Structure 1
Amino acid sequence: MPAFSLEPERLARCARLRALAADRLRPLAEKGEPGRVNRALLAELGRLGLLERLFTSGALDLCLVRESLAYACTEAETALALQGLGAHPVHAHGTPAQRTRWLPAVADGSAVAAFALSEPDAGSDAAALTLRAAPDTARAAGARPGGRPGWRLTGEKCWISNAPEADFYTVFARTTPGAGSRGITAFLVPADRPGLTGGALEMLSPHPIGTLAFDGVPVTADDVLGEVDRGFRVAMSTLNLFRPSVGAFALGMAQAALDATLAHTARRDAFGGKLSDLQTVAHQVAEMALRTEAARLMVYAAATAYDDGAPDLPKRAAMAKLLATENAQYVVDKAVQLHGARALRRGHLLEHLYREVRAPRIYEGASEVQRAIIAKELYAAPRPTTEAP
């Protein structure tokens, strides 16, 4: 049982979900084309009701779903997570018309969502984005008094998951030049808008990731998510929810690597006994387990803080993502070392995890960014005054 006290019902649901992922989702994942959106897998996630839970579950349950899926099928976990990341701004900040149009299709797996924040020169420093939303002067000239304002989006996005195959994008663009994070607006942009094109990128881990080019793409006030010039809040509130669950994704991978290592070292003959009889091996496995349990505690605590509306959520979310993703890298690397050359063969679980585990330390805020967030929150918090000795 995890160190964090979960109810037996939740533990049982996690076990069922791991079995479901292995039996029904992994075969579909294995049939998918690397680097492409696997719509058959999304449809099955929809049939199983897992995509709908993106909009009905709290942060802790989202973490448990992501951890359970990651343990048995990382492709299914990633497909679900990308739907949530792209569609959550619509769920949390969209108009009734926007939600009605897109969320049912996301929930049943028939519409693919994407979160378009990063740019070629604005990755970790998201407030520096330069995709321009210029007032649509032609529209304004012909608009009736009181008509809806419009903009034209011009620029690029890069490292966008599900691009260029998504059906709609949550796009963050600069509506007020020189205003930093205060001049960004979030838009819901359907993929069929004129002037919107994209291309695929080949990455270490074969997920659908690409670029987007905006050549005067038209948007109106009906496409705004939240408020004009307040889009950075939309982005950060989304990341505060999903950063702990990125940690949960990492937990699932770390636990899978740990369990594989326990099984391998217990049965592998070496030096007149089993690998597990060697103290140096047993101590490494103990360290892997220790760090994974510590990360699990922090992820679950951060998710619970989100559900409870805790004021220090940015710090907790950053800590959870940082610790869990760094730990997963450590555990998977140790697991490969203890398995030896067999773990490097194509098709081995650890070869797969070794490629999968690297990216979470970068996306949704690199580890260095999480440390910066933690430090900022620590120094901003009120501290008790003490007299000098």
Structure 2
Amino acid sequence: MTAFSLEPAQLAWCAELRTLAAERLHPLADKGAPGHVNRALVAELGSLGLLGRLFTSGALDLCLMRESLAYACTEAETALALQGLGAHPVHAYGTETQRARWLPRVTAGTAIAAFALSEPGAGSDAAALELRAETDDSRGGRSSDTSPGGRSSDTPALAAAPDGPARWRLTGEKCWISNAPEADFYTVFARTTPGAGARGVTAFLVPADRPGLTGRGLDMLSPHPIGALDFDAVPVTADDVLGEADRGFRVAMGTLNLFRPSVGAFAVGMAQAALDATLAHTAGRDAFGGKLRDLQAVSHQVAEMALRTEAARLMVHAAASAHDADDPDVPLRSAMAKLLATETAQYVVDTAVQLHGARALQRGHLLEHLYREVRAPRIYEGASEVQRGIIAKELYARQEAR
């Protein structure tokens, strides 16, 4: 198989996923509370075996899942993606004990994962993060009796405070963290060596019931669970480190290089849904003595929407295939795929709204929903401006290596 075509079995699987999303996942999504983790939806993703595929399939399969689910149920797509983003560092960099403790629960949909990288002063510039991981010696052995935070009161505790003395205590804030503050554990990136930039960051697996960890939800444009976390001397030990101390930025970038193309797949799924809705609307809508599609100004816009959507899909597939083949150009391809697909989806959804007119602005309309959903992917996991910076950096590095 090349990067630019799919096998019949893959196409059939995508069609099956769209049906499952429409018939089994969308009804559960509708019952969820905006801004909160929908545990019933996550559990259904687990029972369908989709969460398990996050850790047994490659990047291309991840993209096919995300595009297919996004086409029919963006909430299901996002729930699946957040489980993968939060738990992938455990799968890829965790110890056998860490994996055995958490991954079966994640794949079953009974434990909620979260990826805690962004901070109020360190969003796009992730290497500037300030959450401090201070050794107990430097704090004079301070202990914390702050009540644990995070999960809802009816969520069973899944972890306990660390056995034995803490090696570090985490102090600071994380912000715009998906699934916070309701996740059961967090992949947390903290500064262990001050002044060292990206080389002084360590990734920690932090259960939500650790003393000193509290959180609050944030009211965002899209109805996804997103919040802020406060760390007040939260204890962590060497057993909580993911990968190696001071090498956490490698964990973050390895995770993002995998998920960036699939963010593009999410965007392509939304763009395709908007395009299909526009085709149906313009083919059936009477206007000026004919159908809307008979107006060249309309049909040319529809053609442009289709052209850009397909180009973005191909670039996403190419980037995912490169990741699966361990291509050295993965950072470049991933950045290109995310940038093109998310910017394309914004254009396609906006054009679809314009061609539908006022009905698309009515609360509850598919395009009103997509219009709110499509904006965030141009910012999270590296804003479009960051992706352009990565692309330029990779291109100049390649030129200098010649």
Q: Which TM class, normalised by the smaller chain length? A: over 0.9
Q: Distance in 1 between matches of 2:322 and 2:173?
A: 35
Q: CA deviation at 1:155?
A: 0.2
Find the counterpart in structure 2 of residue 42 from structure 1.
42
Find the counterpart in structure 2 of residue 228 from structure 1.
245
Q: CA deviation at 1:218?
A: 0.2
Please, which runs of 5 or more residues in structure 1 have no aligned partner? Answer: none
Matched to 2:318, the amino acid is A
* Residues 157-196 of structure 1: pairs in structure 2 closer than 5 A: 157-196=174-213
Matched to 2:128, the amino acid is A
CA shift digits 1:330-357 (9 cap, x unpaired) = 0000000000000011110000000000
Find the counterpart in structure 2 of residue 24 from structure 1.
24
CA shift digits 1:118-139 (9 cap, x unpaired) = 0000000000000000011299
Q: Distance in 1 between matches of 2:84 and 2:141?
A: 38
Find the counterpart in structure 2 of residue 115 from structure 1.
115
When normalised by structure 1's length, the TM-score is: 0.95
Q: Distance in 2 between matches of 1:382 and 1:148?
A: 50
Q: Distance in 2 between matches of 1:286 and 1:194?
A: 56
Q: Distance in 1 between matches of 2:9 and 2:36?
A: 36
Find the counterpart in structure 2 of residue 150 from structure 1.
167
Matched to 1:120, the amino acid is P
Q: Distance in 2 between matches of 1:7 and 1:138?
A: 58
Find the counterpart in structure 2 of residue 55 from structure 1.
55
Q: Distance in 2 between matches of 1:141 and 1:270?
A: 75
RMSD over aligned CA atoms reads 1.7
Aligned sequence identity (%): 82
CA shift digits 1:209-230 (9 cap, x unpaired) = 0000000000000000000000
Matched to 2:384, the amino acid is S
Q: CA deviation at 1:4?
A: 2.7
Matched to 1:304, the amino acid is S
Check whether the contact 2:166–2:235 (CA below 8 A) recurs between aligned residues: no
Find the counterpart in structure 2 of residue 88 from structure 1.
88
Please, which runs of 5 or more residues in structure 2 have no aligned partner? Answer: 143-163
The answer to whether structure 1 residue 316 and structure 2 residue 309 are counterparts is no
Length, aligned pairs only: 380
Find the counterpart in structure 2 of residue 100 from structure 1.
100
The answer to whether structure 1 residue 78 and structure 2 residue 78 are counterparts is yes
Check whether the contact 1:4–1:296 (CA below 8 A) recurs between aligned residues: no
Q: CA deviation at 1:141?
A: 7.4
Find the counterpart in structure 2 of residue 240 from structure 1.
257
Q: Distance in 2 between matches of 1:256 and 1:38?
A: 23
The answer to whether structure 1 residue 200 and structure 2 residue 191 are counterparts is no
Runs of 4+ in 1 over 3 A off after TM superposition: 138-142, 382-385
Q: Distance in 1 between matches of 2:247 and 2:139?
A: 23
The answer to whether structure 1 residue 33 and structure 2 residue 50 are counterparts is no
Q: Distance in 1 between matches of 2:66 and 2:5?
A: 18
Q: CA deviation at 1:383?
A: 5.2
Mark the CA change 1:173 to 1:141 in structure 2 (over 3 Å): closer, same or farther.
Answer: closer
Mark the CA change 1:68 to 1:218 in structure 2 (over 3 Å): closer, same or farther.
Answer: same
When normalised by structure 2's length, the TM-score is: 0.92
| 2:302 match: secondary structure | helix
